[in-house]
Amino acid sequence: MSITEPRDPNVGRLLANRYQLIELVGKGAMGRVYQAEDILLGGTIAVKFLAQTLLNSKMRDRFKAEARTCAQLGQKSIHIVRVTDYGVNDDDVPFYVMEYLEGLGLSEIISAQQLLLPRFLSLTRQICLGLQCAHQGIVVDGAMCPIIHRDIKPSNILVCKDTSLGELVKILDFGISKLLQADGGQTGSYMGTLAYSSPEQMEGRELDARSDIYSLGVMMYEMLSGKMPLQAETHSFGSWYKAHHFHPPRPLSVSAPGLKMPKPLEELVMGCLAKSPSDRPQSVAEVLKALEPLDQRYSGNREVSHRIGEVLAKKPPIIDPVVAPPKPVQEASTVDRSCQMATWPRNKPIAQIVFPQPYTTDKGTLATLWVMLARDDIRHLQVHRLYNRIYKNFLCSMSPHPMVLWVTAIHNSYRKTQGDESLNGSEKSTRWLRCYIDLKTAQGQEMTRLLSDRQEYQILMFAVEDPSKCAHVITVPIHPSQCSQLQQWAIISQTTMSVDTPTTSKNLLQAEFDKLKPRIENEMQTSSTSFSVKLSQPES
């Protein structure tokens, strides 16, 4: 709910000759947040001001550090609020501009109802992905410096509705986050929220990722049971210090006796709540690894959110992706059998064309690529499938119109291996399958979501000579980094304005790919097994 203060002097002001302040939507100890309009580029954004009572040198530096942290992390993870601008107004009050988010705080969700296990797993996984990105750090003075949030709690987690992903989690408020530098000093004083602070945090010790993992454990416990794992005698620093250091957390079975809890999940939560950092999971990656089999087990029953793909741990998505199959292309027999029941659409010509289409089977809706080829070409790929090498990539341009070029190439080296040179040239041994996904259409958004959610797609091949039935199916896995790209593009495209026709973006993407194609062809012909091609993204 918005906070209406008609006498607020900031409402209606034009900030930096660009941001029109519309309404006060939030306030806290650190400052105030306004809904605003970007009159230069259009769209709704949020502006956060540092509180008047904190206008000293130390707090200004901390506020600027928060903006810098979120600006970098928001580019690397969709699960961290994104900051786009920083400045100082005419009254010498610093501000920064961030994406405008509408949703519910996790604290509101927990208080309203008990979380079903599939929803808990989805939300927790997204929180972990955001935390993992922060712990990997940002670049400061040429060095990568980890970020410790220090205030992980439900009120700093926002859950937004999203047409592509179902529910999207955003981690907020890096105002007291700690930048870990090689020459950094000790923390020296306590900062945080008493009920969620780790024992070492309350001692004012230097912290690492394991402190955030403790806070995550408190929050996971609360998400599952609706109660806190520890109770302090009074809401004072001394009482909470004693609770975090000496009181064992109550078993989940005591706090929520009717809750059917998988044993591995209970062990994970209680492990995060260990008093000693060395007894907890040592990284968020360990937490994600523990959640993975549970997520796979319960994902079929998920009612609210869609599964979100892994964020590439060692490399930020979108920029300079590496295209490399993480595992050999395999054919999933049960899915194949469902796809082989497909018939060529009546509204499509009987010609060698390629088009994307969602396809519903008893295994759910699949992301599929429909292809028509000569019967002999399909038979060759099928009989000599051990010699197939698959290249796939997604190139995106947000400007002038949000568009994705989806490229698949199937290279078969059988004739070359057998010493048969009857077919010369890569065009005769490589089949290029290209199509476009318009991110401004409902079908484009659905296809992007299916690709990222399922982390694979099926190529359905039909013969020109006999188009009545599907002749061959190939299942192609998608690398987690590409899934992450697709997710982010789907989200960003919803607030990106189209300033020209879709054809213009198609031409731009095709021209970009034409420059790269010779390198890819050479790599496919010279590599014996897997290969990788580094691609630069067209400017968007």
Q: Which residues belong to the active site?
A: 151
3-state secondary structure 502-523: HHHHHHHHHHHHHHHHHHHHHH
Helices (H), 85-187: 106-112, 117-136
Q: What number of CA atoms fall less than 13 Å from residue 61's CA on the CB side?
A: 5
Helices (H), 360-478: 375-383, 414-417, 426-429, 442-454
The per-residue b/e assignment along 444-456, b for 16 or more CB within 10 angstroms, e otherwise, is bbbbbbbbbbbbb
Q: Under 8 Å CB-to-CB from 58, ≥6 apart: which residues?
A: none
* Residue 48 is assigned to a ligand binding site: yes
The per-residue b/e assignment along 130-145, b for 16 or more CB within 10 angstroms, e otherwise, is bbbbbbbbbebeeeeb
Residue carrying the six token digits 């980094």: 481
Tell me the two tokens of residue 282: 């040592």
Report the Cα 118 to chain-centroid distance in Å.
18
Residue carrying the six token digits 């879709």: 502
Distance CA 131, CA 179 (A): 14
Q: Dump the DSSP string for 46-72.
A: EEEEE-GGG-SHHHHHHHHHHHHHHHH
Calculate the CA dihedral of residues 183, 185, 186, 187 and round it to 10 degrees.
Answer: -110
CA 510, 516, 518, 520 dihedral sign is negative
Distance CA 203, CA 425 (A): 69
Distance CA 314, CA 298 (A): 27
Consecutive H or E run containing 232: none
Question: E strands along 173-250, which residues?
Answer: 178-179
Q: Under 8 Å CB-to-CB from 488, ≥6 apart: which residues?
A: 78, 317, 318
What backbone phi and psi angles, to 5 degrees, belong to 361? -130, 180
Point out which residues pair with 365 in neighbouring strands.
Answer: 360
Q: CA of 225: how far to CAs of 111, 119, 260, 274, 467, in Å?
A: 10, 14, 11, 18, 56
CA angle 268, 313, 148 (to 5 degrees): 65
Query: Omega into 281 within 30° of 0, i.e. cis?
Result: no
For helices 284-298 and 117-136, give the axis angle rounded to 10 degrees.
150
> Which residue ranges make up the annotated binding site for ATP?
48
